[in-house]
Amino acid sequence: MSLHYKYGLFLIFFLLEFISFGQEPTFVIEENPNEVIDSSFYREDQIYLGVSFVGLVSDQENFIAKGLSSHFQWGVVRDFPIVTSGQLAVGLGLGMGFDRYTTNLNRIEDTQGKGIYSLNTDVTASSLFFSMQSIELPISFRWRSSSPSDYAFWRVYGGVAFQWNYRMRAEIENVSLPVKRELNQLASTAHLSFGYNTWNFYLAYRLTPFFKTESISSQTLPINITPIKVGLIFYLL
């Protein structure tokens, strides 16, 4: 079994343990034994699933995001309320992300085996694909209009997600290219989600550079790519 599949299976089992804590409201019995009052900072622990289209922005005028670039994510969020109403909280998540970017870049190697990147302006030329699989740690500040008995509510969640891109590859004309050392394995992304109940809009903007400038050839085009993700994210209790 390959290493990246082992990482995926390990994360699935870890997430199941993470979910098992679930919603944990505590209750206080008042003088009337028939009256139960929720006195806790109730939690909104959630499973999330998201799919987004990705727009690739570059500092190079002739850069083109050819075809469809996409992002898929899933995971769980552990909720930590910070006010007694439970409507403000911090969320700590753990999940996985899958990205595929389509570009008009071309890559050759210099005499030291480092990548030399350039722009291919021929619209009929083959696209250079980047694909990444990552373990993600999203941290968010969360506002919602919920209550301990109301699970359909408005929400606005915003924060930063940290990614460890444990599998990175590039391909052109079905030929794999050795690019792992040329891309940043650790990354961070600012994200915002807002909506009602299960359906929510999702926006994300990568904060860290795509390429490791010290690992690519000095002859390369000084280019950077910034993925901007727009899509939907679903929160399931």
The CA radius of gyration of the chain, in Å to the nearest whole number, is 22
> How many whole angstroms separate alpha carbon 179 and alpha carbon 211?
10
| Cβ-contact 230, 203 below 8 angstroms | yes
Question: What is the model's pLDDT at position 163?
Answer: 97
- Give the 3-state secondary structure of residue 85: coil
Q: What is the pLDDT of residues 7-49, one digit of tens each?
A: 554 555 554 444 444 444 434 444 454 544 454 667 888 999 9
Upper half-sphere CA count for residue 218 (Cβ side, 13 Å): 1
DSSP string spanning 154-218?
A: EEEEEEEEEEEEEEEEEEETTEEE--GGGB-SEEEEEEEEEEETTEEEEEEEE-S-SB-GGGS-T
Question: What is the model's pLDDT at position 156?
Answer: 97
* Mean pLDDT of successive 10-residue stretches along the chain, which has 237 residues: 50 48 43 50 88 93 87 96 91 96 90 86 86 96 86 92 95 88 95 94 96 84 90 92
The answer, as to whether pTM is greater than 0.75, is: yes
